[in-house]
Amino acid sequence: MSVTITDDIVRATHLTDAEFVQEIAIYLYEQGRLTLGQASQLAKMPQLRFQHLLASRDIPVHFDEQDFADDLATLRTLHR
């Protein structure tokens, strides 16, 4: 799906095109509508850079019990 946002709308925000898309990605991530990977992809940023952007705005990275369990399993396979 494609969404067209007119230049007038973007200009009204006083943001660059890239900043506008980043704001959308941040908002959707913060609302739990996108995962970290999806939001960083939408923002066209590496995941770590997107995490730094979130941190600069005091937006916590969503990390639940399943994420923790997945990370532990990955660590266990790496240290065998």
The domains of the chain are located at 7-78
Q: How far is CA 4 from CA 8, 10, 21, in A?
A: 12, 11, 12
Q: Are 43 and 27 in contact (CB under 8 A)?
A: no
Would you state the pLDDT for residue 62?
A: 84
For 33-77, write each residue's pLDDT tens digit.
998 989 999 999 999 999 999 999 999 998 778 778 877 888 898
Would you state the pLDDT for residue 20?
A: 97
Long-range contacts of 47-50 (CB under 8 A, 24+ apart): 50/25
Q: Taking the CA of residue 57 as centre, how many other CA atoms within 13 Å lie in the half-sphere pointing to its CB?
A: 13
The SS3 of residue 55 is helix
